[in-house]
Structure 1
């Protein structure tokens, strides 16, 4: 046993003991965070604008702080960029995590000295929970790779800015940095395809034990290695024993990824975002990810069906129910208030509070009133792959076809197959039947002959990669939306039709 793995076990026991204390007292933990946040921000511009000095409880908070998105907070962000301090949180942010996706272009999400530990410690604690539960820490003594964005930072005003994964790279604990891959120089390469080849150059001869990244980009890494060597990943990295991922649902990628590896192996799911690190898989035996209730974030939850209402219900942690979809709202020591991150979550347990990410609040299909959500299409694809084990997919996305050239409208499933179904019509029917089972409104459309059954459009194996490359978002933390209520993305991806 190496030095790192030896020391990690008592540390893991200590961290899990601390974790159990707040996880077993969820309401008290969240109330403590709430009071700390209100006190910490009452003298900020936002705190004064929203009467933080008069807020005593959550009801007061809801009366004074509305639910917002980035655009509503942007005037405050602009003031920070211009150099003003004590705007959303005391002092100035340490960084801005730069992301894309809003109607006005880039988002600049503040990271403060108080919020950075949430990102760093949550990632660390995910591994320590695994070590504590399994007793396996050997992977710490070998090489670890984190497929992430460039750590090169620019400036927004006088504040350092860059991709979240690049910022976090500057805070990797020293005990992991020595065996972290790829090299800093390689990680700084912006072009994903060039960077990927360099990463392979550096890692092929290494004793890799842990690989972390968004599944489609990890799969691309594996594909290139297999092309170069003619060997499975297990043959190239015989001691590869732990896969860490986040950003997308793993299930559609699982079969192909493990087929590339040559074996199944343990994995840890994470729920990080630029706005905060919200949850991680704390057990190999329980469903879902442990919500971080003692990490500088006070959570609110809006029933997803009420999200677009003028006055939606806002719930605290002790008011949620298992099995319901909620829009996740956060308030944090990064200076985000009533902030909708755009994700929906579903609780699979309230003792402790564990969640799964069920979709994006704005990623749905309701062209005909069906309101199909991300969780439903993910479950549908997972079921179809189980029923047709010969099928392996690279990626897929779903969009409505409202005005086809002939016949009834339909949902179009654009799929890049690694291995195609023996019978594509049967595979499409399996998808359709499962979606009808999961969504009664969709079933009504089919039964009432308002729409016809699912149409599959096979794409080239690299169609989604080519699409991301065409919009300058190949690699890193970028991903294609699983579904959309229009055809803006679908009509672009279909250019790589098989």
Structure 2
């Protein structure tokens, strides 16, 4: 055991104690964050526009500051891009994290000297909490890989600009620099397929102990390793024992990953975004991720099924309930105020507050009033493959509103590694789970408004080829689990089996 792994354990225990101290005082913790945020932004353009000097309570804040998405925030972002200071937060941002916008082109999310350390600390603490719980610190001795965007930084009016994962790459602590892979030059490769090929060459003979990334892109890396060696991952990397992921639900990929790895490996789920690092998994055997209430972020929640109502009620951590689908609204020390990040969550625990990500408020199917969300389709698929040898590589769901024959239905586009021996039985199991989870869907099926779902098989690597065709292969890009229209479905037609 190295000195590094020995020292990690007492540090991990200290962080664990500190973490549960604030987690067990959720309302008090959030109140402190709220007051500090308001105080630090009183003299900003946004603070003056919204009378921050008169805000003495959360109710005052709700009255002064409406919920906004990026489009509504854009005028303030544009002022910063033009070189102005003290717009959303004190001074100018350290960085803009550049992300792909669905309606507005590129989005520029500010990162400040106050917010940036919280991104780094949260990622570090996720690993330390794992060490504190399990006692496993051996992974710090080997090589660690982070499949991420390019660390190349541009400038926009003097403000450094890049992908969040690339920006974070500049903050890897010195004690991990020798362990980190891939090399800087490889990480800077822009073309994703070329980059993954280079990563395979660099890592194939290394002692990899921790691997991190979005599951769909780690899967691509694993497949290339296996194709090159004809060995499972556990034989290529016998000391690989921790998988860290975020961005999408791991469960649809779990069977495929365990087949590729050749053994079960502990995993840690993270919930990072350009707007903030919101949560991480703090327990191996507990459902959900610990919501980071002391991370420079003040949280509000709106019930998803009321979100588009004019009088939708905004609540704080004090009033949330288990099992309710909420849209998460944030105010941060990067200058985002009552900002709708677009993600929906559910609480799995209130002591402490743990969440699961259920989808995106814009990613749903309700072509017939069924209000289907991502978590429901993921759970239905998981139920259908449980206890079988069926392996799914990727999938998405869309409504078929105008079929040539019969009633409308939900169309599931699935790329199988091992397909079902009986497709009708497989479809019936998914549909039964959907009806059990979603009463609106059940009523539409039993009322003969919809027919049961249908599966369209996608060819091997079809989803990767689709993402490549739209210029979104790799990085932080991912397939939406569902859509309320046929845009993705129509583009997948050319990749049907």
| Fold in common (TM above 0.5) | yes
Residue 488 (structure 2) pairs with residue 496 (structure 1): no
**Cα distance, 1:494 vs. partner?**
2.1
**Cα distance, 1:101 vs. partner?**
2.3
Using the TM superposition, name which of 56-65 and 469-478 deviates more: 469-478
The whole-number CA distance in structure 2 between the counterparts of 1:243 and 1:182 is 16
Aligned to 2:412: 413
The whole-number CA distance in structure 2 between the counterparts of 1:174 and 1:423 is 54
Q: CA RMSD in A?
A: 0.7
The whole-number CA distance in structure 1 between the counterparts of 2:267 and 2:168 is 21
The whole-number CA distance in structure 1 between the counterparts of 2:168 and 2:347 is 28
Aligned to 1:430: 429
The whole-number CA distance in structure 1 between the counterparts of 2:403 and 2:261 is 41
The whole-number CA distance in structure 1 between the counterparts of 2:461 and 2:142 is 32
Aligned to 1:222: 222
Aligned to 1:347: 347
Aligned to 1:164: 164
The whole-number CA distance in structure 2 between the counterparts of 1:311 and 1:51 is 22
Using the TM superposition, name which of 61-70 and 436-445 deviates more: 436-445
Could you say what secondary structure the match of 1:358 adopts? strand
Could you say what secondary structure the match of 1:364 adopts? coil
Residue 333 (structure 2) pairs with residue 333 (structure 1): yes
Residue 87 (structure 2) pairs with residue 76 (structure 1): no
Aligned to 1:440: 439
Could you say what secondary structure the match of 1:365 adopts? coil
The whole-number CA distance in structure 2 between the counterparts of 1:358 and 1:80 is 33
Aligned to 2:359: 359
Aligned to 1:386: 386
The whole-number CA distance in structure 1 between the counterparts of 2:295 and 2:184 is 29
Query: How many residue pairs are counted as aligned between the two chains?
Result: 497
Could you say what secondary structure the match of 2:434 adopts? helix
> In the alignment, is the contact (CA less than 8 A) between 1:390 and 1:422 conserved in 2?
no
> In the alignment, is the contact (CA less than 8 A) between 1:457 and 1:497 conserved in 2?
yes
Aligned to 2:460: 461
The whole-number CA distance in structure 1 between the counterparts of 2:450 and 2:17 is 54
The whole-number CA distance in structure 2 between the counterparts of 1:297 and 1:146 is 25
Residue 121 (structure 2) pairs with residue 146 (structure 1): no
User: What are the Cα deviations for residues 162-195 of structure 1, in whole angstroms up to 9, with x where unaligned?
Assistant: 1100000001111111110000100000000000
Gaps of 5+ in 1: none
Aligned to 2:254: 254
User: What are the Cα deviations for residues 78-101 of structure 1, in whole angstroms up to 9, with x where unaligned?
Assistant: 100111000000000000000012
The whole-number CA distance in structure 2 between the counterparts of 1:201 and 1:286 is 37
Aligned pairs (5 A) from 1:85-124: 85-124=85-124
Could you say what secondary structure the match of 1:489 adopts? helix
The whole-number CA distance in structure 2 between the counterparts of 1:156 and 1:364 is 35
Residue 17 (structure 2) pairs with residue 47 (structure 1): no
The whole-number CA distance in structure 2 between the counterparts of 1:88 and 1:489 is 36
User: What are the Cα deviations for residues 428-450 of structure 1, in whole angstroms up to 9, with x where unaligned?
Assistant: 11111110111111111111111
Gaps of 5+ in 2: none
> In the alignment, is the contact (CA less than 8 A) between 1:150 and 1:189 conserved in 2?
yes
**Structure 1 residue runs of 4+, over 4 Å off?**
none
User: What are the Cα deviations for residues 237-286 of structure 1, in whole angstroms up to 9, with x where unaligned?
Assistant: 00000000000001000000111000111100000111000000011121
Aligned to 2:477: 478
The whole-number CA distance in structure 2 between the counterparts of 1:195 and 1:471 is 18
The whole-number CA distance in structure 2 between the counterparts of 1:350 and 1:442 is 29
The whole-number CA distance in structure 2 between the counterparts of 1:171 and 1:311 is 42
